[in-house]
Amino acid sequence: MRNDIRSRAIVMGASMAGLWTARVLADHFEQVLVLERDHLPDGAEARPGAPQSRQYHILLRRGLQLLNELFPGMEEELIAAGAVPFDATWDVKVRTRGRWLPQFKSGQWLVSCSRLLLEATMRRRLRKHARIRFVEGVEVVGLEADEQRLRVSGVHFRRRQAQENEAATIESLAADLVVDALGRRSPTPTWLESLGYTAPQESVIDSFLGYVTRRYRQPKNFQADWRMMLLTATPPHMPRGGLIFPEENGVWVVMMAGANKDYPPTDEAGFDEFAQSLGPEFYTAVRSAEPISKPIGYRGTDSRWRHYERLERWPDRFVVLGDAFCGFNPIYGQGMTVAAMSAMALADEIRRSSGQLDGVAKRAEIAFGKVTKGAWLLATGADLEWPETIGGERSNGPAERFGRWYIDKVLSALADDQRVRLAFNDVNQLVKPIASLFAPEIMLRVLLHSVKA
Ligand SMILES: Cc1cc2nc3c(=O)[nH]c(=O)nc-3n(C[C@H](O)[C@H](O)[C@H](O)COP(=O)(O)OP(=O)(O)OC[C@H]3O[C@@H](n4cnc5c(N)ncnc54)[C@H](O)[C@@H]3O)c2cc1C
């Protein structure tokens, strides 16, 4: 292998983190093999390895920016396939803290479509890439390392058809870089231990949030001043929220969520009652549409960060990202975007290493830690406000107490100050860091609002 051209990277897992990563690695490796246990459909169809794909998925604005950067023309392609573009403050009717926010044009554009369409469109594009190959129906079962176990040198896998056959052979594939994009249930902690490394510490914060989702046909000749409706929960006393989310083909996803163990029911009568409890605007809209699926529930929404970035000893040439690194409470819609940001951080580390892969893996894990931190603070900061939440502790130093007080005032100002709302959206959509809310102009507005209120 020449120093400036790396020959092969293996990405384990062909879900969103795997797709982003394959795309960035194709700029740096002659061959990128994506190993996936499922057989991948050609179109926008569900598959067993990513069961969450049936739930609504929003790609945050930072994710959309990266999509456009890495897959030029993809946004238009999605819209041509029926995805719905929307202005975050004009097309979305938002109720937060019990107040409807004013609608105004901001140019903060997003696109809504099914997760299945997004993933299938990215996959289709990558299948055409000369350097990327999907190897489907294979289950990775372990890592291969060099003799000193200082460096991962490939993977062990077995073909799924052979699994029932007891003599299923384990095969090996060598690579110059191996990426774990295997999701929340990634076996990497065990694999690391078997190579003589320690498993990472985990931070787990659970606000006991449950989802229920049901798909509807949008009412014929639907006329309203919104394309999407969002009702947010407010800790510590209002655990319920709801969303009407447009997808391609005139479909509405009606999602309702309850934090703090106020789980929404999945039977029809219970679903209806929960919808009614969210208020007449939401309920009337839901009732005007025709259901086309049964309600599907989802629990297990804890945020779980495996702190690979903290491990002192790390095998070279091995990278863990996406949900395998950190899975977020999905209500905040961060997972796909943080996976994209992590893939970009990996590409940055490779570029910075100017032709030398050694050490990149460790530096990349540290970079993922930084990328993850902002999103983690947003997700868990809100979750820690619920009385039943377990895991994690709210720091009670003066700076943290001021931070919480200030964010509370920011949230109160959203209904009255457009500038504050746009700044808040930038943070929430992972376009800007939380620190940007503490810029003097924003602080002044927030403090003046709090004095007037
Ligand atoms: C209910 C719910 C709603 C969500 N909503 C949003 C949202 O609105 N916005 C958002 O950005 N994110 C959302 N997320 C998070 C999002 O789904 C994930 O962050 C995203 O899919 C990235 O995950 P991943 O690719 O790391 O892992 P996964 O999606 O879990 O994929 C792992 C892949 O690895 C494969 N695999 C597993 N084991 C093996 C093996 N041994 N060998 C080979 N292949 C294997 C699996 O088949 C799968 O394809 C939501 C999650 C949930 C649960």
**Cα of 106 from ligand 1 centre, angstroms:** 31
What are 418-432's pLDDT values in tens digits? Answer: 999 999 999 999 999
Atom 38 (ligand 1) nearest CA: 182
What are 135-163's pLDDT values in tens digits? Answer: 999 999 999 999 999 999 999 999 987 55
Q: What is the DSSP letter of 391?
A: S
**Cα of 191 from ligand 1 centre, angstroms:** 20
**Cα of 15 from ligand 1 centre, angstroms:** 6
* Whether the Cβ atoms of residue 28 and residue 179 lie closer than 8 Å to each other: no
Q: Which fold has domain 70-113+210-298?
A: D-Amino Acid Oxidase; Chain A, domain 2 (3.30.9)
What are 243-289's pLDDT values in tens digits? Answer: 999 999 999 999 999 999 999 999 999 999 999 999 999 999 999 99
3-state SS class at 85: strand
Of 10, 12, 15, 346, best ligand 1 pocket probe by most atoms within 8 Å of the beta carbon: 15
Number of Cβ within a 10 Å radius of residue 419: 12
What ligand 1 atom has the least distance to the C-alpha of 327? Answer: 19
**Cα of 9 from ligand 1 centre, angstroms:** 20
Q: What is the reported pLDDT for 269? A: 96
What ligand 1 atom has the least distance to the C-alpha of 17? Answer: 25
Q: What is the DSSP letter of 73?
A: T
Which of 3-17, 60-74, 209-223 bottoms out in mean pLDDT, i.e. has the lowest?
3-17
What ligand 1 atom has the least distance to the C-alpha of 18? Answer: 25
What ligand 1 atom has the least distance to the C-alpha of 186? Answer: 38
What ligand 1 atom has the least distance to the C-alpha of 301? Answer: 53
284 Cβ contact list (under 8 Å, min separation 6): none
3-state SS class at 266: coil
**Cα of 324 from ligand 1 centre, angstroms:** 9
**Cα of 303 from ligand 1 centre, angstroms:** 13
pLDDT band at 396 (very low <50, low <70, confident <90, very high): confident
223 Cβ contact list (under 8 Å, min separation 6): none
**Cα of 328 from ligand 1 centre, angstroms:** 11
List, in sequence order, the alpha helices (H) in 278-359: 280-288, 335-352
Q: What is the mean pLDDT of residues 361-381?
A: 96
Q: What is the reported pLDDT for 4? A: 46
Q: What is the reported pLDDT for 214? A: 97
Which of 4-8, 216-220, 222-226, 291-295 bottoms out in mean pLDDT, i.e. has the lowest?
4-8
Mean pLDDT across the chain: 95
Q: Do domains 6-49+118-203+303-380 and 70-113+210-298 have the same CATH topology?
A: no
* Whether the Cβ atoms of residue 29 and residue 131 lie closer than 8 Å to each other: yes
Pocket around ligand 1 at a 6 A CB cut-off: 12-18, 35-38, 49-50, 52, 55, 57-58, 139-140, 181-184, 211, 298, 322-324, 330, 333-337, 339
The domain locations on the chain are 6-49+118-203+303-380, 70-113+210-298, 398-452
Residue 436 — φ and ψ, nearest 5°? -65, -20
Q: What is the mean pLDDT of residues 371-396?
A: 90
Q: At what angle do helices 16-25 and 115-127 cross, to 10 degrees?
A: 30
* CATH code for the structural domain at 6-49+118-203+303-380: 3.50.50.60
Beta-sheet strands, E only, within 46-91: 84-87
In whole angstroms, give the CA distance from residue 73 to residue 77.
6
Atom 4 (ligand 1) nearest CA: 330
Place of tokens 């970079």: 367
Atom 12 (ligand 1) nearest CA: 335
In whole angstroms, give the CA distance from residue 28 to residue 355.
9
171 pLDDT more than 70: yes
**Cα of 273 from ligand 1 centre, angstroms:** 31
Which of 194-198, 221-225, 282-286, 394-398 bottoms out in mean pLDDT, i.e. has the lowest?
394-398
